[in-house]
Every structure is written in structure tokens, then in C-alpha cells.
């Protein structure tokens, strides 16, 4: 091929990670074609508001759009919505969409995201039983919550708790069912979970731990009740199933790309988001070799959807840098903004900095003298220095950490000046 | 455009930010190396108060999504922020800090 030939970067999946990949490629100097394909009818939008402001009725999913229509034109990004990709032909360097139309690619980026996991029991097809993943789901749920009534959240994870808070704000009676013995079992310590449980109970939410759903029961196709394994039955007008996500790896798998089939799933990449020659994966669907953690991880987070595309674009444009860092998550429930740094892991001790009664405080999990994970309750200001301390794997005096009069900023500066201890 | 008092120099030590509301406008007021600046207090990306954010090297980092703005110019520098944040001129009279709204 001549040097004048236009190359094509094709991005499969038009969620946050897909859109940000298009933007990163353009910004970092990709001059050729960029085709962004999404199977949802909506142009790329951010999902975090769906369970919060959208359900509260204070905003619409449209406000969460990542870019306005003119941005795609200005940056020569070809966006196709409601476009489902059926097959990836890696050897032939092309993809085939529904309807049989094909597109050639020189670079392929998979940003296929996750879909909501469902529960395996009778009645999931009843009207009033739904998951929350897409803007369409959010619009439907917002409409259902508008009439008040009994709302049951199946799953005490981020989605369940955020929807619970939003439903309470809409005047609903709310129950949260969690099969584990604590809320957010995979993400936070029991200390943090207990604090959240108290907040919800204070707002009148009925939180039931160790509770398993065995059936959704209805009449004339509409949900009326949720039956639990202990035989009890809860009245329900709406049930939201929030029991985690399943990465969409089927396309990649069928194309012979390497995927994790044993653990949390995901398309396997190196620390440059590379799956194979000219093929990359970013966002929720990718299990990447995290350069900071030093092991593969799959993260369903806003931050990962934001940053992995930057790393992929760098690698595509020939300037690869190892991708990874201290994982960061946040959730908003009622008047609480909770931010989490680091993945859940066993710790030797837990420190609390500042008085929890004040509403703004931190809990820090320590291992071998280092901060392993941190939970920031209405304390986003402290994220940066804490993240630095964790990133440096700095050994910190626990008394200084627990002392609100010792600025974390100072500790972080000292640690950075001392270099990385080992 | 009236000048309104938003506080005194002693309210804000170096490297700090505080939130105030003037004529219904939420402002974040900063002390950067002894100089005072003000921006609109709401991040241009999503509803979050910049006064809850983190100040370093003349930049403010939003507490919610790590969007970073230049405090002097309001320019959106990195993170998810595309739009600059509005800035307001700060004037010092004696110990008082004033902004023009």
C-alpha cells in the first residue's frame, strides 16, 4: 500500500471508554479515519449519573453526554449508534456489523463494556423487574420511581445502594437485599460497610443481609412481591437487580483473542492495553496487566474508562507507557460522597482520621506500615495526597496519619522527597 | 458591576481555598503564594464544589473527578474537563478581599 493510504481506527463500543479512545487518538495525533460503533441508540454518555441525579429527576441522561454532536463533526469522528458488531475477523483486519456490512481496520479497539448480571430465579421477566446499566434503563426506572411505592434492591453493591438513596429521595419505601453478611462485600471493609448501612437505616431503608431472592411474583405480568429463601415475602412495585456486571468478551472470544474465562472475565491485555498486534481493549471489558499493581486486574470504574484510552492511544501512536495506578472509585448516596482508593485487601490495622460524627473523615487500612486502602467520607480534598502516599508505597507514621493536625499534603511531600522506600 | 467583600486576607492561608457566595454566585477564593484569586465554585464537568478540592502549584483539582483548572486563568488543564471555569478579579483593600460580580 502507498504511504497515502488512509488508515482506519475502528472502536467497537461507544460508551465512555470508546468515546474517550476516539478523543485520545485524535488529540494525540492520529490523523486518519476514526470509526466509533455503539449498539445503544444514545451517543456516548457517562453512566455514573444514571443511578443518582437521573433517578432523582434532577437531570436527564442527555446531560451526561460526553460530547455534543458538533464535537464528532469537528474532530472527524464517525459515530454510528444502534450499530451492533457481529464478527471480528482479526486476520482479515475487518469487522462485520449486523446486516452484513463490513469495515476494514488497521487498528481495532474493543471497548465493549459490561452487561448487567441477572439472578437465576422465576419472574425476572415481569414488568417492574429491571437492571440499571443504560440510559434507557435509567429513563424507565426514573418513570417507575415517580409513582412512589415499594422498591426492592436485589444486591447491596454500588448500584443497589445508590438506587436506594435515589428511591428514598423520591419518597419510595425501600428494601435492600444482600446475600453476603455485609454491604459492598467485594469493594470495602466491614467498617466502611457498617457506616453505610447505618446511613441507609437512618433514612428508613430496610437492609437485609444474608437474604437471597428465590422468586419475583406478579399478577397479570406485573411485579407484586419478592420472595426470599427464608420464605418471607416483600411487597414490591419495582425490583432493581444490581448484582454486578459481566464483561462483554464474546466477540473477542469468538475471534480467538485471549480472554480470562476462569476468574472475573475480561479480554486479556498487556500493560499497554494491547490484546494482539493492532488490537487493543479498554474499559470495563479489559483485564489488563496493571503496571503499578504488578498483576492483571479488571476494573469497572469511571477512572479506568477515562485513563485506559489515554494509554491505548499512546501505544497505538508508538509511545507506549505502562498503564496502571492506585484504583479509585466513588459513590454518592444522600449527602455522602464516598471515595475509595486501592482495592480491597486484608489489612493489619484500620485507622480513623477525623471524627466520623463530623461527617467528613477517613478510614485507612494499613499493611506493613503502608496505606493499602483508604475510604474518604466527604473528604475528596484529601484524595490527592493519599493517592500519592499509596502510590509511593510510603511507610508512614500511623500517629501522624491519624492526627488531623498533621496535613496529609505534608506527609505526601515528605514521602516524595524521600523517594520510594524499599 | 459592584465590588463585594468576600472576606479578609487572614481568612485564607497560603495554598488554601474557601467557598463563599456573593449575590447568589458561588465562588471559590484562593490564596496562591500570597496572591488572591477567585473562580466560579462549581466544576464545569459535573456538580462539585471546587472549594472542596485540592490546591497545588496554582491549580485546583476538583474533588469529584480530578478535573484540573488553572486558578489564575480558569483554563481547563486536564482530566475530563473541557470547559474553562469562569474567573473573577480579586481586589485587596487593606485587609479586605473584594470581588467584582
Range of the domain at A203: 118-243
A384 vs B: CB within 8 A = yes
Question: Do residues A263 and A278 share a domain?
Answer: yes
Closest chain B CA to residue A385: B54
| Residues of chain A positioned with their CB less than 8 A from the CB of B79 | 306
Closest chain A CA to residue B60: A381
Question: Do residues A232 and A157 share a domain?
Answer: yes
Question: Do residues A291 and A311 share a domain?
Answer: yes
Taking only the tens place, the pLDDT of each residue in A155-210 is: 999 999 999 999 999 999 999 999 999 999 999 999 999 999 999 999 999 999 99
Question: Do residues A195 and A95 share a domain?
Answer: no
Question: Do residues A35 and A91 share a domain?
Answer: yes
- What's the confidence (pLDDT) of residue A4? 54
DSSP state of A85: E
- Number of compact structural domains in chain A: 3
The distance between the two most distant Cα atoms of chain A, rounded to a whole number of Å, is 71
Residue A77 placed within a domain: yes
- The model's pTM: 0.92
Question: Do residues A221 and A134 share a domain?
Answer: yes
CATH architecture of B3-100: 3-layer Sandwich (2.102)
Which letter, b or e, does each residue of A143-163 get, where b requires 16 or more Cβ atoms within 10 Å of its Cβ?
A: ebbeeebbbbbbbbbbbbbbb
DSSP strand pairing (A295-297 vs A286-290) = antiparallel
Check CB contact under 8 Å for B53 and A380. Answer: yes
Residue A169 placed within a domain: yes
Please count the CA atoms within 13 angstroms of the CA of A71 that sit on its side-chain side. Answer: 14
The residue to which cell 491485555 is assigned: A269
Taking only the tens place, the pLDDT of each residue in A101-158 is: 999 999 999 999 999 999 999 999 999 999 999 999 999 999 999 878 999 999 999 9
Domain boundaries, chain B: 3-100
Q: Is A349 exposed, middle or buried (0-12, 13-18, 19+ CB in 10 A)?
A: exposed
| Residues of chain B positioned with their CB less than 8 A from the CB of A381 | 52-54, 63
The domain that holds A154 is classified in CATH as: 3.50.50.60
Residue A332 placed within a domain: no
Asked if A376 and A363 count as a contact pair (C-beta separation under 8 A), the reply is no
- pLDDT (tens digit, 0 to 9) for every residue of chain B, 101 residues total? 789 999 999 999 999 999 999 989 999 999 999 999 999 999 887 678 999 999 999 999 998 878 899 999 999 998 777 789 999 999 999 999 999 88
Q: Which of A212, A243, A274 is the last residue of a domain?
A: A243
State yes or no: pLDDT of A323 exceeds 60. Answer: yes
CA distance B2 to chain A (A): 32
Residue A23 placed within a domain: yes
How far apart are the C-alpha atoms of A226 and A149, rounded to whole Å?
A: 14
DSSP string, A157-215: SHHHHHHHHHHHHTT-EEEEEESSSSTTTTTS-HHHHHHHHHHHHHTT-EEEET--EEE
Question: Do residues A55 and A136 share a domain?
Answer: no
| Residues of chain B positioned with their CB less than 8 A from the CB of A302 | 65
Q: Which of A316, A334, A357 is the last residue of a domain?
A: A316
The domain that holds A361 is classified in CATH as: 3.30.390.30
Question: Do residues A125 and A93 share a domain?
Answer: no
Closest chain B CA to residue A332: B64
Residue A2 placed within a domain: no
A413 vs B: CB within 8 A = no
B53 vs A: CB within 8 A = yes
Amino acid at each position: 500500500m502507498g504511504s497515502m493510504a488512509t488508515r482506519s481506527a475502528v472502536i467497537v463500543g461507544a460508551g465512555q471508554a470508546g468515546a474517550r479512545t476516539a478523543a485520545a487518538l485524535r488529540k494525540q495525533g492520529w490523523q486518519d479515519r476514526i470509526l466509533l460503533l455503539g449498539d445503544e441508540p444514545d451517543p456516548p454518555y457517562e453512566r455514573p449519573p444514571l443511578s443518582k441525579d437521573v433517578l432523582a429527576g434532577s437531570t436527564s441522561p442527555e446531560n451526561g453526554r460526553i460530547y455534543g454532536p458538533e464535537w464528532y463533526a469537528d474532530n472527524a469522528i464517525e459515530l454510528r449508534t444502534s450499530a451492533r458488531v457481529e464478527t471480528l475477523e482479526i486476520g482479515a483486519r475487518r469487522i462485520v456489523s449486523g446486516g452484513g456490512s463490513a469495515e476494514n481496520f488497521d487498528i481495532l479497539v474493543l471497548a465493549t463494556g459490561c452487561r448487567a448480571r441477572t439472578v437465576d430465579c422465576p419472574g425476572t421477566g415481569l414488568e417492574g423487574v429491571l437492571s440499571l446499566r443504560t440510559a434507557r434503563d435509567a429513563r424507565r426506572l426514573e418513570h417507575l420511581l415517580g409513582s412512589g411505592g415499594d422498591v426492592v434492591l436485589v444486591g447491596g453493591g454500588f448500584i443497589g445502594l445508590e438506587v436506594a438513596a435515589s428511591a428514598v429521595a423520591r419518597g419510595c419505601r425501600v428494601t435492600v437485599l444482600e446475600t453476603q453478611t455485609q454491604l459492598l462485600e467485594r469493594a470495602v471493609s466491614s467498617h466502611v460497610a457498617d457506616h453505610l448501612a447505618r446511613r441507609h437505616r437512618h433514612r428508613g431503608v430496610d437492609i437485609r443481609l444474608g437474604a437471597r431472592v428465590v422468586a419475583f411474583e406478579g399478577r397479570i405480568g406485573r411485579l407484586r412481591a419478592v420472595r426470599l429463601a427464608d420464605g418471607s415475602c416483600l411487597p414490591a412495585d419495582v425490583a432493581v437487580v444490581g448484582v454486578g456486571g459481566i464483561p462483554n468478551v464474546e466477540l473477542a472470544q469468538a475471534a480467538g483473542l485471549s480472554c480470562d474465562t476462569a476468574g472475573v472475565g475480561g479480554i486479556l491485555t498487556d500493560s499497554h492495553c494491547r490484546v494482539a498486534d493492532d488490537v487493543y481493549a479498554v474499559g470495563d471489558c479489559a483485564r489488563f496487566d496493571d503496571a503499578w499493581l504488578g498483576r492483571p486486574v479488571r476494573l469497572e470504574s469511571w477512572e479506568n474508562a477515562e485513563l485506559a484510552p489515554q494509554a491505548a492511544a499512546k501505544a497505538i501512536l508508538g509511545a507506549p507507557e505502562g498503564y496502571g495506578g492506585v484504583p479509585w472509585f466513588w459513590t454518592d448516596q444522600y449527602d455522602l460522597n464516598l471515595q475509595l482508593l486501592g482495592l480491597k485487601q486484608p489489612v493489619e490495622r484500620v485507622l480513623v482520621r477525623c471524627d466520623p460524627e463530623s461527617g467528613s473523615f477517613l478510614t485507612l487500612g494499613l499493611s506493613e506500615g503502608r496505606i493499602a486502602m483508604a475510604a474518604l467520607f466527604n473528604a475528596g480534598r484529601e484524595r490527592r495526597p493519599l493517592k500519592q502516599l499509596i502510590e509511593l508505597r510510603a511507610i508512614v507514621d500511623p500517629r501522624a496519619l491519624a492526627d488531623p493536625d498533621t496535613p496529609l499534603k505534608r506527609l505526601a511531600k515528605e514521602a516524595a522527597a524521600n523517594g520510594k522506600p524499599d | 458591576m459592584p465590588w463585594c467583600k468576600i472576606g479578609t486576607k487572614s481568612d485564607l492561608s497560603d495554598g488554601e481555598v474557601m467557598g463563599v457566595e456573593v449575590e447568589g454566585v458561588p465562588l471559590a477564593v484562593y490564596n496562591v503564594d500570597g496572591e488572591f484569586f477567585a473562580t466560579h465554585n462549581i466544576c464545569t464537568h459535573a456538580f462539585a464544589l471546587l472549594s472542596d478540592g485540592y490546591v497545588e502549584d496554582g491549580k485546583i483539582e476538583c474533588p469529584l473527578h480530578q478535573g484540573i483548572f488553572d486558578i489564575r486563568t480558569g483554563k481547563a488543564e486536564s482530566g475530563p474537563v473541557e470547559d474553562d471555569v469562569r474567573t473573577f478579579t480579586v481586589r485587596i483593600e487593606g485587609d479586605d478581599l473584594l470581588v467584582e460580580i
